Amino acid sequence: MQQYLIAIALITVGGILAPVIRKHRDVSNIVGAGSAIIGALLALLPVLKVLFSGADFPVLLLSLPLGEASLKLDAVSAFFALPVLVLLPVTALFSGAVSRQEKYGADGYWFFFNTLGAAMLLLLIAANGVVFLVAWEIMSVAAFFLITHRDEIATARSAGWKFLIASHIGTAALMLLFALLAASSGSLEFSQFAVAHFTTGMGSLAFFLALFGFGVKVGLLPLHVWMPDSYTYADAPVSALLSGAMSKMGFYGLLRVLMLLPAPAASWGWVLVIGGLLTGIFAMITALAQSDLKKVISYSSMENAGIILMAIGCSALAMSWKQPLIAGIAMVGALLHVLNHSVCKGLLFLGSGAVSWGLGTRKLELMGGLAKKMPFTAVCFAIASAAISGLPPFNNFVSEFIIFIAGLQTATIEDPAALLLAAIVLAGLALIGGLAVATFARTFGLVFLGASRHDKKQEINEITPLVRAPFIILMLLVGVLTVASPWLLKPIHAVALLIMKDHAGISATASPVEFLQQPIIMVVQFSLALLVLVIAGWQIRQRFFSEGDRSDRMTWDCGYAEPDARIQYTSSSFSQTIVDLFSAIIRPYKHGEKVSGLFPQHASFRTDAPDSFLRYLFIPLFGLVDRGLRPFRALQHGRLHLYICYVAITLLVLLIWKVVVL
């Protein structure tokens, strides 16, 4: 536990030191990145100890001016520390490695980067409402400064503001939540919340406040509107850290509150399941219509949040139906998916950074054929794309498979409600998964394959060996999370049990771990064997069966004499079928002139799909609020003597109130 606190201190101090010595840019970078890396490794030890050997650290009492606050590192905190402790050092390494060209050392980058990391680590061990909210707020503000790090770019500024407004609306709900919890228990300590008595209405109110507050961070529909913009316009390592680690804090908060509240009601589960389903489907169909590489990846974060919410909801419903096996399986699936998604998303965002730096653009319409120029990035991106689409043998498939099993097992219950849940989980996951395959096959294909659409003379550089290190680490983690998944079930189930307590009862027949172990081993072995076979087949084919093959011909294009890059399928044309099908939801903008006449000269077509909820819900809503509050602007005029007059009037009113009323 001390080690964990020392790590937080080290990361913070490194963050303060780095800008102080910014004159020596290299030293400043080494201090900033080095402290984040060493701090994370230092904190990893106690975290792994708690997770794998079940070590129990004592509660630490913190003396604050207004009473005491406790810090505690339990298995749930430790589990959610993993994404932070993986992505913080990896993105620090990446930022450090590219710092020369990106000039990170020159300003407050490292200060806010390290502060964000330290705040997340503090948030995880907070066992007191005030400490939790303070850490939450530091985290959000640090994230705001990281998003707007390139404040010369207007889109980054506006994305940052969206983030700041959204996260503060969320925080407002969280303040209400903790006020409510404190009012019911008479204390701000989590340990007191857990034993307090809640009426059903109070419990539900607390849950929905938490869902709103934390839903903003995870990207629950329609509170996701800040997410695609912030992840897109922030720098690649920042996007990786925000999506891979910070948004996971939302899940942590939600599950922590579930732990503190009494057994979940069925309505909570339904809201989570339906919310998750809509989030996932909306995110994927919108992702398919995007023409910006990082927007696609950002919407996929939202999609995975939907999957995780669905799994948590499935678990909550199973708890309310007293189905311990299903509740356990779904919760294990949700937790494992949190971890898997972090790693893959880190890889994807860093890959998008490599691509956009190499090419100088993020527009899918200008990419293509990069696999030949950036083979290393292409391999990383291919693996990450297959993994994030949930294809075997990669790690995301394992966690999606577990959630599917929860759905299949739910279908065996003889109850219409259970069948409805099973139908939503199975069909919903299958649809989201199918659309994810479409999205990432499209993305990888448009970026790395085909003929290049960019300027032929442009020089494109593959990333340097030092920058490859973070990619290699993340790819190794994808492998480890796949191969080791059968052994991860037990520690993760321990975390799940801590979250679920005995709300569902204890399974009499089989524990989720026993139930899942055999299928997971089968799935992993089988799909790895398939991978080995394909590689072996590939070797044999290249060695013995490639004689006489020639690869100097043109692509068949219906007899065109000189096909060039411009006649190939583009990002807009690829998504057109799907965009048309769902145009009622994504409401795409279509640009271009129609083909007309017998010998048409010129025609073009392009679609773009800004977020529907931003356009049709939030912009009108905030416009309304703005108009409603406009009269009050008269009070804000900047004249000091009138402000003093306000103070005097207020005092006078209070005085009169005191005399007359009390």
Partner 1 sequence: MISPLSIIFWLLMMLMAPVLPGVINKTKAFFAGRQGPPVFQLYYDISKLLRKTSVYSETSTVVTRLAPLAILFSTLAAALLVPIAFRSAGLSFAGDIILLAYLLGIGRFFMVLAALDRGSAFEGMGAAREVLYSALAEPALFCGLLVLINETSQISLSGIYEKLTTEFWLENPATLLLIATSWMIILLVENARIPIDDPNTHLELTMIHEVMILDYSSKDLALIEFASAVKLAVFSSLLVGLVFSCQGMSVLVQLAVFVAGMLLVSIIIGAIESSIARMKLLHIPKFIVGSGALAIIALILKLSGN
Residues in 479-518 at the binding interface with partner 1, rule: CB under 8 A: 515, 518
Q: Is 634 in the site for partner 1 (CB under 8 A)?
A: no
Q: Closer CB to partner 1, residue 159 or residue 402? A: 402
Q: Is 110 in the site for partner 1 (CB under 8 A)?
A: no
Candidate segments 50-58, 313-321, 554-562, 641-649, binder of partner 1 by CB under 8 A: 554-562
CA 316 vs CA 14, 274, 323: distances in Å: 41, 13, 10
Q: How far is the CB of 337 from partner 1 (least distance, A)?
A: 15
Q: Which long-range contacts (CB under 8 A, 24 or more apart) does 136-140 make?
A: 136/171, 136/174, 136/249, 136/253, 137/171, 139/246, 139/249, 140/164, 140/167, 140/168, 140/171
CA angle 136, 264, 398 (to 5 degrees): 75
Interface pick for partner 1 out of 4, 404, 471, 618 (rule CB under 8 A): 404
Q: Does residue 600 interact with partner 1 by CB under 8 A?
A: no
Two tokens at 323? 């189905």
Chain-centroid distance, C-alpha 496: 20
How do beta strands 589-591 and 67-71 pair? unpaired
Q: What is the residue-wise DSSP string for 432-500? A: HHHHHHHHHHHHHHHHHSSS--S-TT----PPPHHHHHHHHHHHHHHHHHHHTHHHHHHHHHHHHHHHH
**Which of the residues 372 through 401 are near partner 1 (CB under 8 A)?**
372, 386, 389-392, 397, 401
From 353-361, 570-578, 604-612, 645-653, span contacting partner 1 (CB under 8 A) = 570-578
Q: By CB under 8 A, tell whether 300 contacts partner 1.
A: no
- Select from 545, 589, 616, 643 the one that contacts partner 1 (CB under 8 A): 545
96 binds partner 1 (CB under 8 A): no
Min dist CB 48 to partner 1, Å, is: 29
Q: Which stretch binds partner 1 (CB under 8 A): 23-31, 135-143, 195-203, 407-415?
A: 407-415
Smaller CB distance to partner 1: residue 160 or 368?
Answer: 368
Cβ neighbours for 442, distance < 8 A, ≥ 6 positions apart: 288, 571, 574, 575
State the minimum distance, in angstroms, from the CB of residue 498 to partner 1.
Answer: 25
Does 649 participate in binding partner 1 (rule CB under 8 A)?
no
Options 21-29, 54-62, 552-560, 608-616: segment touching partner 1 (CB under 8 A)? 552-560
Residue 243's nearest CA partner among 85, 333, 349 is 349
Instruction: Decide if residue 650 touches partner 1 (CB under 8 A).
Output: no
Closest CB 100 distance from partner 1, rounded Å: 31
Q: Which residue has the tokens 């006649």?
A: 567
Part of the chain binding partner 1 (CB under 8 A), chosen from 112-120, 301-309, 535-543, 620-628: 535-543
Shortest Cβ 334–partner 1 spacing (Å): 17
- Applying CB under 8 A, which of residues 567, 621, 624, 655 lies at the interface with partner 1? 567
Listed ranges 87-95, 211-219, 419-427, 474-482: which one lies at the site for partner 1 (CB under 8 A) = 419-427
Asked if 59 interacts with partner 1 (CB under 8 A), we say no
316-375 residues in contact with partner 1 (CB under 8 A) are 368-369, 371-372
Among 195, 200, 414, 641, binds partner 1 (CB under 8 A): 414
Residue 13 or 441: the one with the smaller Cβ distance to partner 1 is: 441
- Choose one: 34-42, 45-53, 349-357, 550-558; the region binding partner 1 (CB under 8 A): 550-558
Candidate segments 5-13, 122-130, 137-145, 530-538, binder of partner 1 by CB under 8 A: 530-538
User: Cα(607)–Cα(587) distance, rounded to whole angstroms?
Assistant: 10
In a 3-state reduction of DSSP, which class is residue 221? Answer: coil
In whole angstroms, what is the distance from residue 463 CA to residue 448 CA?
15
Contact 91, 146 (CB under 8 A): no
What residues have CB less than 8 Å from 104, skipping those under 6 apart? 29, 32, 95, 96, 98, 110
In the bound state with partner 1, the residue whose beta carbon lies nearer, of 553 and 637, is 553
β-strand partners of 128:
189
Region 165-204 residues binding partner 1, contact defined as CB under 8 A: none
Give, in order, the Cα–Cα distances in Å from 334 to each of 245, 308, 441: 15, 5, 25
The reply on whether position 603 binds partner 1 by CB under 8 A is: no
Q: From 53-61, 90-98, 462-470, 525-533, give the range in contact with partner 1 by CB under 8 A.
A: 525-533
Contact between 558 and partner 1 by CB under 8 A: the answer reads yes
Stretch of 149-157, 315-323, 351-359, 422-430 contacting partner 1, by CB under 8 A: 422-430
Spatial separation of the C-alpha atoms in residues 600 and 623, rounded to whole Å: 43
Position 423 contacts partner 1 (CB under 8 A): yes
Q: Which stretch binds partner 1 (CB under 8 A): 253-261, 267-275, 539-547, 597-605?
A: 539-547
Smaller CB distance to partner 1: residue 136 or 397? Answer: 397
End-to-end CA distance of the chain: 51
Residue (10 or 403) nearer to partner 1, CB: 403
> Both tokens of residue 229?
């913009």
Please state the φ and ψ torsions of residue 63, each to the nearest 5 degrees: -90, 115
Q: Which is nearer to partner 1, 565 or 621 (CB)?
A: 565
Q: How far apart, in whole angstroms, are the C-alpha atoms of residue 38 and residue 316?
A: 38
Rounded to whole angstroms, the Cα distance separating 33 from 40 reads 11
Return the residue of 24, 100, 501, 541 that touches partner 1, per CB under 8 A.
541
Number of residues that bind partner 1 (CB under 8 A): 81
B/e letters for 117-149, b = 16+ CB within 10 Å, e = fewer, are bbbbbbbbbbbbbbbbbbbbbbbbbbbbbbbbb
In what helix (H) or strand (E) does residue 339 lie, and over which residues does it extend? Answer: helix 324-359
Residues 438-457 that bind partner 1 (CB under 8 A): 438, 441-442, 444-446, 449-451
To the nearest whole angstrom, how small is the minimum distance from the Cβ of residue 527 to partner 1?
7
> Does residue 578 interact with partner 1 by CB under 8 A?
yes
Q: How far is the CB of 591 from partner 1 (least distance, A)?
A: 19
Residue that the structure tokens 């970078």 belong to: 29
For partner 1, which is the closer residue by CB, 94 or 574? 574
β pairing state of 67-71 and 606-608: unpaired
Which residue lies nearer to partner 1 by CB, 545 or 643?
545
Token pair 């006078």 is found at 652
Candidates 101, 461, 577, 604; binder of partner 1 (CB under 8 A) is 577
Measured distance CA(637)–CA(427) in Å, rounded: 57
Binds partner 1 by CB under 8 A, chosen from 9, 522, 617, 621: 522
**Among 64, 466, 476, 534, interactor with partner 1 by CB under 8 A:** 534
β partners of residue 606: 591
CB atoms within 10 A of CB 18: 28
By the rule CB under 8 A, 657 interacts with partner 1 = no
* Spatial contact of 350 and 374, defined as CB atoms under 8 Å apart: no
Query: Between residue 128 and residue 167, which ones bind partner 1 under the rule CB under 8 A?
Result: none
CB atoms under 10 Å from CB of 644, counted, come to 10
